[in-house]
Chain A
Amino acid sequence: MSKPRAATVRRISQGLFLAAFLSLFTLTVWPIGLAAPVDIFLRTDPLTVLTALLAAKVWVLSLALLALPVIVLTLLAGRAYCGWVCPLGTTIDLSDRLFFAATKSRPITERRRWKYYILAAVAVSALFGAQLGYFVDPIVVLTRTLTLAVFGPLSALAQALAGIGWVQDAYTYLQNHVDFFARQALLPPQQAVFRLGWVALATFVGILALGALEKRFWCRNLCPLGALLGVISRVPLLRRRVSDNCTACLRCVRQCSTGAINAEDPTTHRMVECIQCYKCAAVCPEQAVRFVPQLSLAGREAQLDLSRRRLLAFGALGLGWAAMAHTVPAARPTVIGNPSASPQLIRPPGSVPEPELLDRCVRCQQCVKACPTNGLQPALAEAGLDGLWTPVLVPRIGSCSEKCNLCGQVCPTGAIEPIRVEDKPAIFIGQAIIDRSSCIVWAADQSCFVCDEVCPYDAIIQKMAEGKKRPIVNEHTCTGCGECEKNCPVQPLAAIRVFSLGDRRHWGRQRQRVWRYGKQRADGS
């Protein structure tokens, strides 16, 4: 009776990993009190690690090491990750069960090769320094969907309900008496807003809707992570063995999650497509199916069975993407050396210099989720084609809070490096510029100085001009945090705006310290 139990254990495993994924996502909020590894799924995702390392052409041992457990698991038990761990796989299983119960599990088709070709394009593109994996990496897709298309609407719902008096009272009670709610992780005091939520939602719904064609269509045919795991372990140690009791009743063929079992000869199966779900073992009336360690490497060559021509074609596609990505205007730096993509390209503090950031960032949106002011948003065109969905600060939505360094803590690939809060005065992400034609002090002789009031770095100088004190910006102390732009009373476009002109990432930390404090103090501290 141990066989049915394996399938149950697998379901429990799927449930636990999905719950862990969702909990960690929810906990991605300031402050990370539990010191929870909120980005652990992304950090251990071999595809994320591979593409980030390939694209950045750096060897980051800590990154590589974290992917090791999944790689070892794969060498031992094949694509067990897909069947037991992957939160997107679990979501697809649930969706298939709920919405596509009528869809029969059919033997796998030639479409299964697509995912290897996609992987080829992703890997070649990464090799030539451009990320492509973020479109299709399942962990990234799910994190992005949760941030942009689930967290946003949920927060809107919570806020709508707060319009009811007693609900608001209940929120207040919870936020004051239950530590979890005091974190404001689930009930943010201000509705969270995100750009491009619908694109994330459409992608996600599309992936689930493919379940109408085949069970686990995504996992069978498209997922490059599944492909990578298959390539890593063409013949895993633990694999399916069918005894002579098999009567070829084909029940296992009809149950197989990925259609890996050969319908002509159910004693054989395609090992790279097996996700170790053990359904075949569970349904076999003769109990002929067992999963046991086997050392032989027989059949290794035939496992992938890909068209070399297609592989080359998709590799060329990846190369083409990389070439295009590197020839958008954003790729050429300005004379002062910072990226020319857009004057509004404000990167979060701790971001590595622009070309490397584009290589490293996997667009998972963890930083966007974490940002407590909601100011961090996925880029549209600010960073060019190559920079789609990378994080940019939109000060009018939210500024970079003086005492927060969360984005660098949750970034799984080091595209935003962890920084100390104390260092923030000397990390320049942009610079505020006053528009004197719309500033009510300059243009209408009002007394305002909200910019001066809110500036955490004392970067607004009150200068006597035309008989009145008027604001100007001190470029040595303005870090581009956007507090002034956020709070400027001039509507809809603020009269003080942050531009990437003051982005000094390419200088390195020491030169920025000298710019801020002068040579002596910079060396001293």
Chain B
Amino acid sequence: MADKLGRREFLRGAVTVGAAALIGGCGPRGGRGARISGAAGPRVPEHVMGAKPMLVIAAGRKIEDRVRAAVSELGGMGRFVKRGDTVVIKPNAAWQRSPAQAATTHPEVVSALIKMCKEQGATRVLVVEHMIDMPPRLIWDITGLGAAARGAGGEAVSAHDQRGYVKVNIPHGKVLTSDEVIRDIVEADVFINAPIPKVHNASVITASMKNMMGVVWNRQYWHQVGLQQSIADFSTGVRPDLIILDANRILLTNGPKGPGRTKDVLQVVAGFDPVAVDAYAATLLGFQPSEVPHVELAYKAGVGQMDLSKVQMKHVKA
């Protein structure tokens, strides 16, 4: 009898502990970066407000050199990453495509970023993606991004379970007023968006703002309520701390998945302003920024500057 009671007690204890762990683990842990907008207006970090937004366009012999040159001109990785931080990088890793096909972010861009974060003492660097092609293991392999992440001391995370997402309000959204966002991003200390510029059959181009479609759970909904407005809406709500545009090789036709015609631009662009970055990406792909509806919509919503003449563009060479 005592034995049975003991077992029951044990079970009760185990259930309590388990439930506590579940509840405790559910809420967002809350990182340092306040990149989720509040009611006051689209959140524009202090270093962007007031100043002329800056884009650094880096050339150089190697991809890693370009990434380093671009970030250092922007103030260096130490400006963003502090010792002990958790950093999340969102590349474009949606497709079963090799780096040469320019449908996904180049692995060297990602490994360079991870190394730089690690040099600043980041504890964890996660490379996250909610993929479109499946299965994740295959995509991490073919894009080279899994090996790049692991090789540089980061971790690849396939965000394919809804439980890994938290609801985020988008108070200034017109059609998108809330969305479920990968928890790692919401909780991270630093969030870096690392897209690749491509033409896009539905959104004209894809660069930084469109890349954010891979951090939400239900991206199908964006299509239902209007893709261009949704992209702009989301950019009013969730803002990366740093954007690194992988313009080493860009996709000019049959985007976003390709295979299509590619062009070697051999640049890495760094900036804070998603609209300015995407406006610049549009020009690389042969469009006027005003020809890309979500760029214009985000500009009108106050997310950033689409007029490149009002952007401070710094060209550097590694």
Q: Which residues of A contact B (CB under 8 A)?
A: 30, 159-160, 162-168, 172-173, 175-177, 182-184, 188-191, 372-373, 398-399, 401-404, 440, 446-450, 452-456, 458, 462, 483, 487-491
9 nearest A-B pairs in the assembled complex, by CB-CB distance: A489-B220, A165-B25, A372-B135, A489-B223, A189-B158, A164-B25, A190-B160, A176-B155, A189-B160
**CB-contact partner of B133 in A166, A168, A401, A447, under 8 A:** A401
The interface centre, meaning the residue of B156, B161, B228 with most chain A CB atoms within 10 A of its CB, is B161
Q: Is the CB of B157 within 8 A of A373?
A: no
In Å, the complex CA distance between A166 and B187 comes to: 13
Q: Is the CB of A402 within 8 A of B224?
A: no
Q: Is the CB of B96 within 8 A of A184?
A: no
B residues within 8 A CB of A160? Answer: 163
**CB-contact partner of A167 in B25, B154, B222, B224, under 8 A:** B25
Which residue of chain A has the shortest Cβ distance to B202 in the bound complex?
Answer: A449
Instruction: Known A176-B149, A401-B96, A491-B220; judge A183-B137 contact (CB<8 A).
Output: yes
Q: Is the CB of A190 within 8 A of B161?
A: yes
Q: Is the CB of A402 within 8 A of B155?
A: no
Q: Is the CB of B126 within 8 A of A172?
A: yes
Q: Is the CB of B132 within 8 A of A449?
A: no
Cβ contacts B158-182/A at 8 Å (1 or 0 each):
1111011000000000000000000
Q: Is the CB of A176 within 8 A of B164?
A: no
Cβ contacts B252-265/A at 8 Å (1 or 0 each):
00101100000000
A residues within 8 A CB of B155? Answer: 172-173, 175-176
In Å, the complex CA distance between A173 and B222 comes to: 32
B297 to chain A, nearest CB (A): 13
In Å, the complex CA distance between A175 and B154 comes to: 12
A residues within 8 A CB of B83? Answer: none
Of residues 199 through 222 on chain B, the ones whose CB sits less than 8 Å from some CB of chain A are 200-203, 219-222
A residues within 8 A CB of B24? Answer: 164-165
Q: Is the CB of A449 within 8 A of B25?
A: no
**CB-contact partner of A184 in B135, B154, B223, B257, under 8 A:** B135
A398 to chain B, nearest CB (A): 6
**B310 interface residue (CB < 8 Å to A):** no
Of residues 1 through 24 on chain B, the ones whose CB sits less than 8 Å from some CB of chain A are 21-22, 24
In Å, the complex CA distance between A100 and B25 comes to: 41
User: What are 5 contact pairs spanning A and B, CB under 8 A?
Assistant: A165-B25, A165-B29, A440-B223, A447-B202, A449-B201
Known: A164-B24, A183-B137, A450-B202. 12 other contacts (CB 8 A): A163-B25, A168-B164, A173-B155, A184-B136, A189-B137, A190-B160, A372-B137, A373-B134, A403-B96, A449-B202, A453-B201, A456-B133
Instruction: Known A446-B226, A447-B202, A489-B224; judge A162-B164 contact (CB<8 A).
Output: yes
A residues within 8 A CB of B318? Answer: none
B95 to chain A, nearest CB (A): 9
In Å, the complex CA distance between A159 and B126 comes to: 19
Q: Is the CB of B134 within 8 A of A448?
A: no
In Å, the complex CA distance between A454 and B29 comes to: 34
**B26 interface residue (CB < 8 Å to A):** yes
Which residue of chain B has the shortest Cβ distance to A491 in the bound complex?
Answer: B220
**B142 interface residue (CB < 8 Å to A):** yes
In the complex, the number of residue pairs spanning A and B with C-beta atoms less than 8 Å apart equals 128
Cβ contacts B26-49/A at 8 Å (1 or 0 each):
100100000000000000000000
B residues within 8 A CB of A172? Answer: 126, 155, 157
A residues within 8 A CB of B21? Answer: 164, 166
A451 to chain B, nearest CB (A): 10
Of residues 175 through 201 on chain B, the ones whose CB sits less than 8 Å from some CB of chain A are 200-201
- Please report the total number of B residues contacting A with Cβ < 8 Å: 45
Instruction: Known A447-B202, A453-B257, A456-B257; judge A164-B138 contact (CB<8 A).
Output: no
In Å, the complex CA distance between A491 and B221 comes to: 10
Q: Is the CB of B137 within 8 A of A191?
A: no
Q: Is the CB of B137 within 8 A of A448?
A: no
Q: Is the CB of B22 within 8 A of A440?
A: no
Instruction: Known A30-B138, A399-B134; judge A489-B221 contact (CB<8 A).
Output: yes
A255 to chain B, nearest CB (A): 31
B25 to chain A, nearest CB (A): 4
In Å, the complex CA distance between A454 and B103 comes to: 12
In Å, the complex CA distance between A183 and B96 comes to: 16
B residues within 8 A CB of A452? Answer: 201-202
**CB-contact partner of A487 in B132, B136, B159, under 8 A:** B132
Q: Is the CB of A440 within 8 A of B224?
A: yes
Q: Is the CB of A446 within 8 A of B223?
A: yes
B93 to chain A, nearest CB (A): 13
In Å, the complex CA distance between A456 and B259 comes to: 9
In Å, the complex CA distance between A448 and B21 comes to: 41
Instruction: Known A163-B25, A172-B157, A183-B137; judge A403-B142 contact (CB<8 A).
Output: yes
**CB-contact partner of B134 in A166, A398, A453, under 8 A:** A398
The interface centre, meaning the residue of B126, B159, B222, B224 with most chain A CB atoms within 10 A of its CB, is B224
Q: Is the CB of B163 within 8 A of A162?
A: yes
**B110 interface residue (CB < 8 Å to A):** no
**B82 interface residue (CB < 8 Å to A):** no
Q: Is the CB of A454 within 8 A of B257?
A: yes
B residues within 8 A CB of A462? Answer: 201
The interface centre, meaning the residue of B24, B132, B134 with most chain A CB atoms within 10 A of its CB, is B134
Q: Is the CB of A162 within 8 A of B161?
A: yes
**B115 interface residue (CB < 8 Å to A):** no
Cβ contacts B217-260/A at 8 Å (1 or 0 each):
00111111011100000000000000000000000001011000
Q: Is the CB of B201 within 8 A of A402?
A: no
Q: Is the CB of A453 within 8 A of B135?
A: no
Which residue of chain A has the shortest Cβ distance to B258 in the bound complex?
Answer: A458
Q: Is the CB of B96 within 8 A of A402?
A: yes
Which residue of chain B has the shortest Cβ distance to A404 in the bound complex?
Answer: B138
B residues within 8 A CB of A399? Answer: 134
Which residue of chain A has the shortest Cβ distance to B131 in the bound complex?
Answer: A189
Which residue of chain A has the shortest Cβ distance to B126 in the bound complex?
Answer: A172
Of residues 90 through 111 on chain B, the ones whose CB sits less than 8 Å from some CB of chain A are 96
A376 to chain B, nearest CB (A): 12
In Å, the complex CA distance between A284 and B169 comes to: 76
In Å, the complex CA distance between A402 and B138 comes to: 10
Q: Is the CB of A453 within 8 A of B256?
A: yes
B257 to chain A, nearest CB (A): 6
A residues within 8 A CB of B22? Answer: 163-164
A170 to chain B, nearest CB (A): 11
Which residue of chain B has the shortest Cβ distance to A448 in the bound complex?
Answer: B223
Instruction: Known A172-B126, A191-B161, A446-B223; judge A163-B26 contact (CB<8 A).
Output: yes
